[in-house]
């Protein structure tokens, strides 16, 4: 597996186009926000990661060009809902994201 490369947002504001947000609800076992954050950081290209919550519910916020990969992974961890994927380039142009 290739190492994941991350682009500095200061160098390219829209290097990662999609603002991906969702909630993960506990399914079979307790959730671990640090474990989830580490997995996302290690395995997916992007930036601006926030993984916050407790063993029952985790909120994810991540900028990436491949939001479906984040959704696929998070669905293996627990039940996902309140999914929002916004196109930040469209939003910056005054269009609906």
Residue 88, token pair as written in the block: 């930040």
Q: What is the per-residue pLDDT across 45-90, written as a single tens digit (0 to 9) for each?
A: 999 999 999 999 999 999 999 999 999 999 999 999 999 999 999 8
pLDDT score recorded for residue 2: 52
Who has greater pLDDT, 28 or 22? Answer: 22
Residue 83, token pair as written in the block: 């999914």
Q: What is the per-residue pLDDT across 67-76, written as a single tens digit (0 to 9) for each?
A: 999 999 999 9
pLDDT score recorded for residue 83: 98
Domains detected in the chain: 18-90 (3.30.70.260)
């Amino acid at each position: 597996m290739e190492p994941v490369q991350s682009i500095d947002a200061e160098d390219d504001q829209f290097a990662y186009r999609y603002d991906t947000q969702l909630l993960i609800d506990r399914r079979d076992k307790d959730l671990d926000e640090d474990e989830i954050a580490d997995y996302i950081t290690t395995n997916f290209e992007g930036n601006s990661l926030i993984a916050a919550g407790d063993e029952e519910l985790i909120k994810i916020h991540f900028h990436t060009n491949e939001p479906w990969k984040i959704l696929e992974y998070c669905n293996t961890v627990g039940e996902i809902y309140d999914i929002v994927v916004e196109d930040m380039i469209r939003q910056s142009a005054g269009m609906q994201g």
